[in-house]
Amino acid sequence: MTTFRIAPSILSADFARLGEEVRNVVAAGADIIHFDVMDNHYVPNLTVGPLVCQAIRPHVQVPIDVHLMVKPVDRIIPDFAKAGANIITFHPEASDHIDRSLQLIRDHGCKAGLVFNPATPLSYLEHVMDKVDMILIMSVNPGFGGQSFIPQALKKIEQARRLIDESGRDIMLEVDGGIKVENIAAAAKAGADTFVAGSAIFGQPDYKAVIDAMRTQLAAV
Ligand code: DX5
Ligand code: ZN
């Protein structure tokens, strides 16, 4: 049976109360904290860095999944590993040496992953499947929370699921962007097992009600 993981994105949390927000969302049933890092260069928005990752680390026991939307990536990887990240993913277009960046993440004791924008082909995976612990399919163009799910992402999730199954490796398949109670089952049916949701969870007053509703949807897949 597939283990489904819900990964709330702190992008839509109240940054003035971030410690409390991550504690509350984990108490509400979150499996992973998704930590969006934007640099106003690779994407047109600016968020938080390793200091904030380090600040929330003592508040939760669950894995912190750092989604790097920065270019270049290598210089900042060790800083996030030291700040308590467990998973670090990056966009292949943002690294000149994808294999080296994946290895760097693993050398620092973290799980490594590649992130695919809606128009980015999965062919980047061809020679690095053995170094990948997570594949993240973007179902919006990166940079902002609260955007609408791009349905073409479902085909790509199916394609990634096939590649993972063929590899025989234990690789998480995460989907990020516009995920809500209404479409989480479709993403799961396509093959995703890890679901990022920012505005759908932090935009509601009762985090547990949303996460429970998502799990009910997933249980029926
Ligand atoms: C977008 C980020 C997402 C974002 C998702 O660039 O990578 O993680 O926070 O937010 P929602 O769930 O609101 O689309
Ligand atoms: Zn993200």
What local confidence, expressed as pLDDT, does residue 30 receive?
Answer: 98
Taking the mean position of all CA atoms in its chain, how far away is CA 66? Answer: 7
pLDDT in tens, 83-132: 999 999 999 999 999 999 999 999 999 999 999 999 999 999 999 999 99
- Which one of the listed residues 36, 39, 65, 133 is annotated catalytic? 36
Q: Could you tell me if the CB of 142 is within 6 A of ligand 1?
A: yes
Pairwise CA distance, residues 178 & 23, whole Å: 23
Query: Residue 168's pLDDT is what?
Result: 98
Quick check: 10 pLDDT over 80?
yes
Query: Looking at ligand 1, which atom is closest to the CA of residue 143?
Result: 6
Please give the residue range of the domain that contains residue 20.
Answer: 5-219
Residue 81 belongs to domain with CATH number: 3.20.20.70
Report the pLDDT value the prediction gives residue 141, as an integer from 0 to 100. 98
Confidence of residue 210 (pLDDT cuts 50, 70, 90): very high
- Which pLDDT belongs to residue 70? 98
pLDDT at 53: 98
Assigned token pair, 19: 């410690």
Domain tally, the chain:
1
The question of whether 31 is a catalytic residue gets the answer: no
Residue 38 has pLDDT above 90, yes or no: yes
Work out which ligand 1 atom sits closest to the CA atom of 178: 14
| Nearest ligand (C-alpha, residue 118) | 1
Average pLDDT, the chain: 98
Is 14 catalytic? The answer is no
Q: How confident is the model at residue 16 (pLDDT cuts 50, 70, 90)?
A: very high
Q: How far is the CA of 179 from the centre of ligand 1 (A)?
A: 8
Sequence-distant (6+) residues with CB within 8 A of 147 are 140, 141, 177, 178
Q: What's the pLDDT at 121?
A: 98
pLDDT of residue 1: 76
Judge if pTM exceeds 0.85.
yes
Work out the average pLDDT over 14-40.
98
Question: ω into residue 72 within 30 of 0, thus cis?
Answer: yes
**Confidence class for position 185, pLDDT limits 50, 70, 90:** very high
Q: How far apart are CA 57 and CA 53, in angstroms?
A: 6
Single-letter residue type at 198? G
